[in-house]
Structure 1
């Protein structure tokens, strides 16, 4: 029998449903960074992200335990859709479009930046801050597609499914988002 680490997501789900808690832990660890990152980019608040992240996995666990999980798609797409819906629900609840965090840390701090000189780290930190600021200035739809494409490594087909839009709409949002980022870079004389 294969070790759990080499099992595909659907096999881990079946193993968890059969009572193997280690399978769930591995499944969560396998996808937690992508899910956390996508939530953080939507809500821009680390503590809120942690709360929503927990809610996502509570919903996932409840669905898996009650055998309501549908295996038609990939697990990560389904989990990201849950995360997206929870973020939308949160924004509807507070009737605001965005949250600006005063927290110094952001999703870019999740990147490993070890073994570099101090000046390189400073330049990279400034670059991350500039990029984060420019992304936060984009319309929500454009920012969401850019985050899902470049930080969650999703295809446009997956993005279209998660955002409940067509592939062409997702491509258009990406195109306009990148055009807007380039304009901001030129206007502010920013070189990344």
Structure 2
């Protein structure tokens, strides 16, 4: 019997679909790090990332078992797209803005502290952060998702395009519209932010 680790993704999927559980086990081992990391980069929480990872593979299993898998040669991007959709669903359920985690694991919006700032400036900064999160939530979903992936998850437009299943030009366009709409909302609300 051929060594499973040397089989292609497609061969492993067909093996699993025909009833051999080892096919899926090898696929999970092959890609679990990339898939988990792509989830964790977005949610910044080990427990939530683990839950979404498991939910993703439940959906993968159900799709393959029902014969609905048709992404020949594109297993990893397909699974990452499923995981991405699960993350978006998670944020929609939570109805919260994204958190921006620094290297120490703290939400930058919650712990931003400038030594020279007086209390009033800190309060203004906190209010600006709250206002910005609210404005981001008002963007259309496609624009909000690109903005979150680009600025909060620091993803490349190539990765954003692949995960969103759109062209790079479409991803760039959505980002341009997101920033334009944010600027417009900021002006309408007489807020003061700087965008680059």
TM-score with structure 1 setting the length? 0.60
Q: CA RMSD in A?
A: 3.0
User: What CA distance in whole angstroms lies between the structure 2 residues aligned with 1:31 and 1:105?
Assistant: 25
Contact 1:42/1:87 (8 A) holds in 2:
yes
Alignment partner, residue 140 of structure 1: 148
Higher CA-based Rg: 2
Q: Is the 8 A contact 1:4 1:23 kept in 2?
A: yes
Unaligned runs of 5+ in 2: 107-146, 176-196
Residue 66 of structure 2 corresponds to: 66
**Cα distance, 1:165 vs structure 2:** 3.4
Q: Confirm whether residue 46 of structure 1 aligns to residue 54 of structure 2.
A: no
Find the counterpart in structure 2 of residue 22 from structure 1: 22
Structure 1: stretches of 5+ with no match in the other structure: 107-138, 150-154, 174-192
Residue 171 of structure 1: how far off its partner (Å) = 5.8
- Separation of aligned partners in 1, 2:48 and 2:90: 10
The residue aligned with 2:89 is 89
Specify which structure has the bigger relative contact order, considering alpha-carbon pairs within 8 angstroms and separated by 6 or more residues.
Answer: 1
CA contact (8 A) 1:35 1:83 kept: yes
Whether contact under 8 Å (1:39, 1:87) holds in the other structure is yes
Cα distance, 1:6–1:159 mapped onto 2, change above 3 Å: farther
The aligned counterpart of 1:182 is none
Give 3-state SS (helix, strand or coil) of 1:34's partner. helix
User: What TM-score results when the alignment is normalised by the length of structure 2?
Assistant: 0.59
SS at match of 2:15: helix
